[in-house]
Chain A
Amino acid sequence: MTRQSRLHIPVSSARPGERPDFSYLQVSPAGAVARPAVDAESGSIQDLAHTLIRVLDEAHHAVGPWNPSLSADVLRSGLRYMLLTRLFDNRMLKSQRQGKISFYVQSTGEEAVAVAGTMALNAGDMLFPSYRQQGAFLVRGSPMVELMCQLLSNTRDMCKGRQLPVCYFSLKGNIAAISANLATQFPQAVGWAMAAAIKSSDDVAVSWTGEGSTAEADFHQAVLFASVYRAPVILNVVNNQWAISTFQGFAGGERLSFAARGPGYGLASLRVDGNDFLAVHAATTWAAARARAGAGATLIELVTYRAGAHSTSDDPARYRPVDEYRSWPLGDPIERLKRHLMVLGEWSEDKHAQLTEELEAAINAAWKEAVSYGTQTEGPRLNTDLMFDDVYKELPPNLLLQRDQLRKMRS
């Protein structure tokens, strides 16, 4: 009984009160990683799972073979959507604190993941996001009022009052309904892609899941099916370092990258600087072209940092240094793209301030409209009859009876 346990327990590099330490993070210099042909054999490009694809260098120039050479207009559009996502998050966080919405999830610090990824795709490509890719909805044109009404569970809520805030969908924008259950969307995206291949369409499916969620069996099912059928799918692992209180080591990230799981399944796998808008855009473009060419699926690890709390129910000060984000080696995605545009002479601090003001005004106007359709505390309220719809296509006898019972009680 006196023998020491031989079990290995992953240890976080820094806990509250300690100095942030990201020395575990392997960072390649911008431009250092080669860009193979999109139809390269997955076995010949395994090193891409261990390096880090980066385009923006320390001087804010775009360098190397992965530079997507995007126009200034596209770059400004990317900056706009990332900034909009952040400001939207800030405003909704405030609304939650004011008791107007019950719960919220921010994507602060990782806006490039959803924004650049979605911008690099075609409109017909189907998205299967987790609850932290709200930027995808903004890029795909979901009106802010529509998103806010979902958050408010009000009379215009797309989910008819049934879902937690942030579990949006967009039928028009080809975005699947977000589930709060972890990684369940990952293998579903593979199935959607298999159907696209069966139907001989050129569409691809794209999914995102957190690094913590790769522990769920769903992740392994997804990469297996994607590999076996060479499904036209892009599987993104958003490694934002923290899954509530457990750091990425508890998801198996201590010795090998998350991208490194792909080669074991025979998948092309890229490890990418997730805070580098250009790198995320380029990697997604490469993977989409590969999928459309019939060369199969790609697993992409997007290395980023969850700057905010897990959700409004979480307090990260209990488990990580409060200032950890300031030491994050890959910086802030908005700041980096902004600097790049300024280096190109295509942007300025004045324009940035002006854009911020414009977006904040748009968010405030949208919020004003959204709350007119009801909030948690103020009417109008959804009709309680709606609770019984959509359990099935048609109401079975037990639900008809229960709907009547509730109507009588309410009258």
Chain B
Amino acid sequence: MAQMTMTQSLNSALNLCLEKDPGVVVLGEDVGFFGGVFRVTDGLQAKYGEHRVLDTPISEGGIIAAAIGMALNGLRPVVEIQFADYIYPGYDQIVSELARIRYRSGGAFNAPVTIRAPCGGGIRGGQTHSQSPEAIFAHICGIKVVMPSNPYDAKGLLIAAIEDDDPVLFLEPKRLYNGPFDGDPNKPSIAWSGHPKGEVPEGHYTVPIGSADIVRAGTQVTIISYGTMVHVVEAAARSLNVDAEIIDVRSMVPLDVETLCASVDKTGRCLIAHEATRFGGFGAELMATIQERCFWNLEAPIERVCGWDTPYPHAFEWDYFPGKDRVVAALKTMLGLP
């Protein structure tokens, strides 16, 4: 075991996959010589060469399309889109091609591409460096969508994604690269060292795609979340002294319905929290699924705490971000606390 930040654990995953499988290639803007604007690919080009860790033109559509072509020719490309906000020029290639190539060819072709993209806010990035677009990809049939919330899961999930024969969108909450974040921007930054999920094996392991993680067992209420918000809801429940069962979804597609519903059946209450916009957000899918399965065990309406239905505004970052106060208010309502 070693202490790693999320940046380091992702780098470790890429390093192991490049070492193990000569078919793995890494490509993206600034990922080669420079090592990526968030340093996730640092040192990989020096180690594996310019033919396996490729700098690309600034063309997200081109990068994703080229990755599909490489995958069709037997490689296992890992793409970096510098910010999830810049993935849209590649949207047609993802939706119409990458996600459907297996289906439309009757299973004859597949393209095992992993697309890594930093997402989420909290770094004063404004509307073009803060988005959480998981729902618009989760809606697409044929591509898996995952988002880790800590270094341990990040490494295990990334290795699983690269080794998966289906395409995977791998979203990285950029606010968590260097440390956990409980939603309070006025506190000094915390490091991953000392956090139990900052302990990461140096070797190969996987976190299975499609499995949620029970971060904390509890009895009073189930809080379902993912990404940066996992840490925010933990802090909120702690501050209220509520015995919450906290679940990190980790994998939106496929979704671990059994783990989520078993918990809600047990607690009878469910709060869903995500950073993305509320309307049509992934929380709506979670809510519908839980309502279908757990209706007779629910003791209160399911609640959602999400980003507002606006673009992510630069000056109002902490008014937009669904921070601890909003989670606390929702918990109080659900639990009838003063």
Contact = CB atoms under 8 A, between A and B. Distances in A.
Interface of A: 1, 5, 7, 9, 12, 15, 102-103, 153-154, 157, 159, 161-165, 167, 179-182, 212-213, 215-218, 243-246, 250-252, 313-314, 318-319, 381-382, 384, 386-388, 391, 398-399, 402, 406, 409
14 contacts: A167-B126, A180-B129, A216-B59, A216-B60, A217-B59, A218-B89, A246-B29, A250-B55, A251-B57, A313-B37, A382-B315, A406-B319, A409-B325, A409-B326
Nearest to B59: A215
A316 to B, nearest CB: 10
Contacts of B128: 164, 179-181
Interface residues of B, number: 41
Interface of B: 22, 29-30, 33-34, 37, 50-51, 54-62, 85-86, 89, 124-129, 278-279, 308-311, 313-316, 319-320, 325-326, 329
A245 B33 contact: yes
Contacts of A180: 126, 128-129
Nearest to A374: B315
A224 to B, nearest CB: 15
B34 A388 contact: no
B107 to A, nearest CB: 28
Given A213-B58, A246-B55, A409-B325, 9 more contacts: A102-B124, A153-B314, A154-B315, A157-B315, A165-B314, A180-B126, A216-B58, A217-B59, A246-B33
Given A387-B320, A402-B308, A409 B329 contact: yes
Chain A to chain B: the 6 pairs with minimum beta-carbon distance, closest first? A161-B315, A215-B57, A245-B34, A153-B315, A164-B126, A215-B59
B309 A402 contact: yes
Contacts of B319: 384, 387, 406
B313 to A, nearest CB: 4
Contacts of A161: 313-316
Nearest to A391: B310
Contact of B308 (A159, A182, A244, A388): A388
Given A216-B89, A245-B34, A319-B33, A252 B124 contact: no
Contact of B314 (A12, A164, A182): A164
Contacts of A215: 57-59, 62
A393 B333 CA distance: 33
A386 B279 CA distance: 19
